[in-house]
Amino acid sequence: MSNQLFTNVSIFDGSGKKPFAGEVLVQGNRIKKVARGKTKIRRNGAKVIDCGGATLLPGFVDCHAHLAYCDTATLFALGDIPPEENQLLAMHNAKLYMDHGITAAVSAASSKPRTDIVLRNEINSGRIPGPRLRASTPQFVTTGGPWDANQMHMEHGSFEIVADGPVEFRKKVREMIREGVDIVKLAISGDAFIEHTPEHAHSYSEDEIAAACEVAHSRGKRLAAHCRADASIRAAIKHGITFIHHAEHATTRTLDLLEKNKSKHYVCPAIGIIYATLYEGSDWGVDHEYAVAHRFDKTLQIAAKTTKEMFKRGIKVMPYGDYGFAWNPQGTNNRDLEHFVNLIGFTPAQTLMMATKWGGEAWAGSDPVEMGEVKEGYLADLIVIDGDPIKDITLFQDADNFLMVMKNGEYYKAPQRRRSGSRRQVVAAE
């Protein structure tokens, strides 16, 4: 593709600073030049795309993604979907991510051992569209841990991998690394609705976490953990688990510890699923009273407070997480941006910075990948949205508002005309 020059565009560069008018030149898969104000970038035969005053941003990065989750009402129902159907559904989900400008994702659990891996490989081959993907294992759980679906009279595997003791953890984590995962996911806390392992239960022994982490780290892989219980969060910090999900019940002592280690961790509270369970699950048998009886109203308050406190301490918190359930379906992921503003009280600019700059560095890890910012030399994962997202963070919820989606310098969605507002249209001209 020839060089692409985006002009007449308001640029949110990912830093969290105010958007500025300017121009952006893309050459190959990189951002070659960013100009501010009236400065013009030399055309030099580039294809000029007049964005009509729309806003250009880095593509979003979802660091608590479950592309293999298929909008079932329970996780056990997810387990019942055969691998072949599950793979195709995951492929459709990958497209939904791209439709909504999410151009990179760190998986926080697959549904079958190889679903994420195969999806990532197909996306990387260019045969199907999808975000840059860090592929995960299914959730590792211990016997009787959350989502262990076995019954005394019947072995019944679901969407998880059950392991017990350091020996079994070592073997099963090694197997998954052999299959090609990037991320090892441990469900070390329980969860609401699970009688035998509620959310405050820490469901791993010390030597099990140590064994899983030792194997993953020795092969250069990172880990993610489902952590609600305070003890689980502390264990995740102690053993160097990069992605600490939920983490709402962190005590002050644990927050102090996390703050001390803040350069090593990312926290995705997944606030959307708490909100949706509280208010939007009634069609699936989870009405408001039932959710309140399971303290979802309290959990929402605590999650908002803890997440805000983490941000104040410089701990990197990010939107997204746990889309892929019946009442929190795939494709609505960008509601989380609105939740971060309305439920937690972040500004739109802070929220967008987390979803781009922080997401980019979290995705990259120690790999030399520059992404998540509109910055010279960075990967050209870019979106153009019809309007001003600093004024209206909900714009990203409607795929039609995306006037352009680019990943790695290639158009997933070629530049479209603006739907309303400006008479200046997004048009391409030589």
- Closest contact distance (angstroms) between CB of 196 and Zn ion is 19
The burial class, CB within 10 Å (0-12 / 13-18 / 19+), for 253 is: exposed
Residue (of 252, 240, 250, 236) closest to 204 by Cα position: 236
Query: In the complex with Zn ion, which residue's Cβ is closer, 148 or 322?
Result: 322
Closest CB 330 distance from Zn ion, rounded Å: 13
Stretch that binds Zn ion, among 102-110, 323-331, 342-350, 403-411 (CB under 5 A): 102-110
Q: How far is the CB of 268 from Zn ion (least distance, A)?
A: 8
- The binding track of 158-187 with respect to Zn ion, each residue x by CB under 5 A or -, is ------------------------------
151-to-79, 111, 148, 244 alpha-carbon distances in Å = 15, 20, 9, 29
- CB of 87 or CB of 189, closer to Zn ion: 189
Least CB distance to Zn ion at residue 309 (A): 21
CB of 24 or CB of 274, closer to Zn ion: 274
CB of 75 to Zn ion, least distance (A): 10
Q: Which amino acid is at 184?
A: V
- CA-to-CA distance for 187 and 143, rounded, in angstroms? 12
d(CA 227, CA 89): 27
Out of 108, 188, 384, 385, the only residue in the binding site for Zn ion (CB under 5 A) is 108
- Return the residues of window 386-415 that contact Zn ion according to CB under 5 A: none
Size of the site for Zn ion (CB under 5 A): 2
CB of 108 to Zn ion, least distance (A): 5
Nearer to Zn ion, 10 or 111 (CB): 111
* Contacts with 239 (C-beta within 8 Å, 6 or more apart), sequence order: 209, 210, 213, 223
Nearest CB to Zn ion, comparing residues 11 and 61: 61
Stretch that binds Zn ion, among 74-82, 166-174, 319-327, 398-406 (CB under 5 A): 319-327
Over the window 243 to 282, marking each residue x when it contacts Zn ion by CB under 5 A and - when it does not, the resulting string is: ----------------------------------------
d(CA 344, CA 384): 26
Question: Quick one: which of 360, 359, 357, 337 has its CA closest to 347?
Answer: 337
Residue 65 or 255 with smaller CB distance to Zn ion: 65
The reply on whether position 322 binds Zn ion by CB under 5 A is yes
Q: Which is nearer to Zn ion, 322 or 338 (CB)?
A: 322
Tell me how crowded residue 428 is: count the other CB atoms within 10 A of its CB: 12
d(CA 97, CA 260): 34
Burial (CB < 10 A; 0-12, 13-18, 19+), residue 252, is exposed
Location of structure tokens 């300017």: 22
What is residue 19's DSSP assignment?
P
Pick the stretch among 122-130, 152-160, 298-306, 317-325 that binds Zn ion (CB under 5 A). 317-325
Binding positions for Zn ion, rule: CB under 5 A = 108, 322
